[in-house]
Amino acid sequence: MIGRLNHVAIAVPDLKAAAARYAGGLGADVGAPIELPEHGVRVIFVTLPNTKIELMEPLGPGSPIAGFLEKSPAGGMHHVCYEVEDILAARDRLVATGARVLGDGTPKTGAHGTPVLFLHPKDFDGCLIEIEQV
Amino acid sequence: MIGRLNHVAIAVPDLKAAAARYAGGLGADVGAPIELPEHGVRVIFVTLPNTKIELMEPLGPGSPIAGFLEKSPAGGMHHVCYEVEDILAARDRLVATGARVLGDGTPKTGAHGTPVLFLHPKDFDGCLIEIEQV
């Protein structure tokens, strides 16, 4: 069912400094900052030949990653995002196997303007999983 | 410099149960368990169209992921692995920009039989990075 790994998201305390390390030491293709106020984050995408890394810092009060950075002030790996063809079919299959979908189960519009859902990390070995319909 | 994302590694407390969730709810292509005694882990690779997920559980005493699972008994995202063409050139570039390489800086042979190095997570926003020469 799941297709490509769309991105790995890393929560960082300082987006500019993080981007400089990816462009410098790692010599990666680093984009410009993008503000996503409706998601409470400012992000920079690092484009790799086969997928993307999403560096994200909190934007505005009540950012969904503020709590994560309180627990891990240095930052850390936050979630992985897998592509699916049909998000409602994917949700139904996951729920039928006992996995919990976060929120009320209705897909939201993600950072790429496509429908997304998040799965409970307790059902996937502590790993927060986003599924995105592409 | 860095090329493809070779894999995302997830430490899990129960490899069989984890693999069942990836094959079941997520409908992914899940391989057979592989024992890597020299790395202290038993792994299962989940093959996606563009990269791999490496599920790993501790193998034997003194497993390098035992401490991780003590802190996070449910499991969690452990590291990402980027491919590089020349691991010594990559190491030298990273060190020149202030990044720390774990161990004595000499590449070890990784799970795929190729030279690997790990970078200090404190230099990359709490994210443990493996670089692998391919």
pLDDT tens-digit readout, B17-28: 999 999 999 999
Average pLDDT, chain A: 96
Mean pLDDT along residues B106-120? 92
pLDDT tens-digit readout, B71-90: 999 999 999 999 999 999 99
pLDDT, residue A53, reads 98
- Cα A14 from Cα B91, distance rounded (Å): 24
What ipTM does the predicted assembly reach?
Answer: 0.96
Q: B128 is written with which tokens?
A: 């443990």
* Partner B contacted by A89 (CB < 8 A): no
Q: How many CB atoms lie within 10 A of CB A109?
A: 11
Percent of chain B having pLDDT more than 70?
Answer: 100
Task: Provide DSSP, A41-52.
Answer: EEEEEEE-SS-E
- Cα B111 from Cα B68, distance rounded (Å): 19
Q: Are strands B115-119 and B108-109 parallel, antiparallel or unpaired?
A: antiparallel
Residue A110, pLDDT above cutoff 90:
no
* Partner A contacted by B20 (CB < 8 A): no
Residue A38, pLDDT above cutoff 90:
no
| Known catalytic membership, residue A130 | yes
Q: B129 is written with which tokens?
A: 């990075």
Mean pLDDT along residues A118-131? 97
- Cα B126 from Cα A93, distance rounded (Å): 33
Mean pLDDT along residues A82-91? 98
Contact B127 A10 (CB under 8 A): yes
User: What Cα–Cα distance (Å) separates residue B98 from each residue in A26, A94, B107?
Assistant: 11, 44, 18
Contacts of A98 in chain B (CB under 8 A): 25
Contacts of B122 in chain A (CB under 8 A): 74
Residue B129, pLDDT above cutoff 90:
yes
Confidence class for position B116, pLDDT limits 50, 70, 90? very high
- Cα B14 from Cα B75, distance rounded (Å): 9
Nearest Cα of chain B lies from the Cα of A37 at a distance, in angstroms, of 22
User: What Cα–Cα distance (Å) separates residue A26 from each residue in A22, B34, B96?
Assistant: 5, 30, 11
User: What Cα–Cα distance (Å) separates residue B114 from each residue in B4, B12, B84, B109, B132?
Assistant: 15, 24, 11, 5, 7
Contact A127 B77 (CB under 8 A): yes
pLDDT, residue B61, reads 83
Domains and CATH numbers, chain A: 5-133 (3.10.180.10)
Average pLDDT, chain B: 96
Backbone CA torsion sign across A98, A101, A107, A112 = negative
Confidence class for position B128, pLDDT limits 50, 70, 90? very high
